[in-house]
Structure 1
Amino acid sequence: MQELEKAEEYLNTLCSVKPNRRTGSPGNRAATDFFAAMVKKWGYTVDTTPFLCLDYKSGEISLACNNQVYEVYVSQFSPGCDVTAKLVTVSTIEELESCQCKGEILLMRGSICAEQLMPKNFVFYNPDQHKRIYSLLEEKQPAAIITATAKNPELVGALYPFPLIEDGDFDIPSVYCTDVVGQEISAKTGEVFRLVIEANRITATACNVIALKNQAAPQKIVVSAHIDAYWSTPGALDDASGTVVLLLLAEMLQDYKGNLGIEIVAFNGEDYYSAGGQMDYLRRFGKDLAGMSVAINVDDVGYKQGKTAYSLYDCPDEIKQKAHNIFGKYDGIVVGEPWYQGDHMIFVQNKKPAIAFTSENVAELMATITHSPKDTPDVVDCRKLVELAHALKDFIQAF
């Protein structure tokens, strides 16, 4: 089978698991099993140590007032509930600070819902304002929360509405709706609503897949992508495409005889509230980062519009020059703008050099495709995945 055919087959396999590749789901385990089986046959030592996580299942979701029903969606990982209570509305943190909503249904709309809250225990990026909102909600003790959100493609991709809260560590039931529906609901502030959420958190396990070669080498190179996908999407660009590049590269390097240790990592949790796989990796292998020459992360590559773009983070001059010389030989690869939302940041934050690959038109795909059901294999040009795998092989063999 030719490389392009392999890329297409891998992409379709990863995007067709059921129900999807959300961390901890049966589909996610099917994807990691597939990846592990492939790299094992190419002679890699494979680590698939499981870590605990939550899967999630929901059923009926309804919000009503005086026989009028409103369209709402359950916040992923929300506890279930059946609450009948008066509606209290806030639109700012100051209003939340002063409101009395214990035991009531709280509607949050306006500026307080401008951006998705980081999970309360998220360690990589967690603004003080987000922590304050969580703290106030837990202090005020509403019986349930409705959040009304507008479009925010820079932070949540093409989702509209987007869930303000997606957090398995937050125990107040919550749903979300569009800003338009939120305005309709707010007109009935003080009236009695009934909110029903049928949902269950399910204790599960998941794993990273870490493929290792030449482990005795004093220096190693790490190449990563994330194998999980956002819960409501097939995740072709985000990040089955990056995972396909890892598989192509792993086969190309199966006979590698160079001086570096090779570590190919399919992270499991980039689109998961607790970044479970990334945290597990740091707990288990953080001490080994001292021997890492450079980390390469691949995310949202292969978009049919534009080229593949790379950016450098704290790289010494030797690696910068090597990257520019090798990647510059490929017509479909260009220097791009830095971005700080990917798995390369776990290495950058630990003061290690990193290179990140994404699509040149990442802003466009974030606004129209990312985290939506539109993220399907037909938006991926697999020729770009094959090209990037060859470029990464050349870069690694140049050490």
Structure 2
Amino acid sequence: MKITRIETFLVAPRWLLCRVETDEGLAGWGEPVVEGRAETVRAAVGELSDLLMGEDPAPIEHHWQRMTKAAFYRGGPVLSSAVAGLDQALWDLAGKRLGVPVHRLLGGPVRDRVRVYGWVGGDDPARLRDAVAARVESGLTAVKMNAAGVVSRSPTVREIDGVVERLSQVREVLGDDRDVAVDFHGRFTAAAARRVLPLLEPLRPMFAEEPVLPEFGHLLEAVVRCSPVPVATGERLYSRGDFLPALQAGIAVAQPDLSHAGGVSEVRRIAALAETYDALVAPHCPLGPVALAASLQVAFATPNFLIQEQSIGIHYNRGAELLDYVLDTGPFGFADGAMHRTDAAGLGIEVDEDAVRTADRAGHRWRPPVWSHRDGSFAEW
């Protein structure tokens, strides 16, 4: 079997998919994307394709090593995401070729179901209660909210109290039998995070995500130590090397993204590294169907897995949903708060190729919002 064609598809609302085809008619799918930089990653996939065309897709680790290391300049979000999507497609091909799900190739499943959570807002607290109630009604047992919108570099008393009030609202709707995670989204300084986190502890959040920007990882240990609230981070970390200092700082939850952190191959190693620090894994995934399918395959085979993010109903999905690009939506059902394991081959989904090709003709040009503080200076989104 040889790889004969590699295609990419820019599909709404903000995703990039890739398809790796072989001379025997099999094709594997991946999702290589950096949100807001899809066209850039598309170019990177084209460059990396030179290493794969005409090759047997079976030796995945061999291909991963070459894609990540056969250049003087390595790593970073664009290259790691391009590798991630191609790696997903190679694992999808391997499973289809052998007629088994990817989780079987990773050593076999350790669970039958994967608990998932959904996003409920938080930038503007006005609709939080209704959003949480709708998520509970849909079957979810866990949600994630933003801690705040634009935050001053030195938050006012009102801003700090607002974070607590938001979480209090959500906890009141959820009760004690469901969970909420709080996403700081890198909007807080380390000093501000240390002020806020201890105030959230009585409300028992499942974790506080990205309390500081990844470039301030040297301050992470002090943030972790300031409160018993479990700290999570990792959506902007792309390798085992990136995760090691965060784990050494004492994070409780690692959040690699299957479409950013080197795909199935690297995320399974990040999970194993996290296990040596007694940390759990909650893969980041506000993306499309292939990224979620790949995440689920890793989750089924990962002992220290906690919970899986998914984007069904998320505010980014305007004009398209991940369910629009699969022929069978069954694998993504969560009526009981979890997605259930199947024995479907590869990544476990059937991509609707016609829908993907049609969407690619329209494409997209999604960009993240650019925020400012009241004085006009740049604010973290």
Check whether TM > 0.5. no
TM-score of the two chains, using structure 2 as the length reference: 0.27
Bigger radius of gyration among the two? 1
Bigger helix fraction: 2
Bigger strand fraction: 1
TM-score of the two chains, using structure 1 as the length reference: 0.26
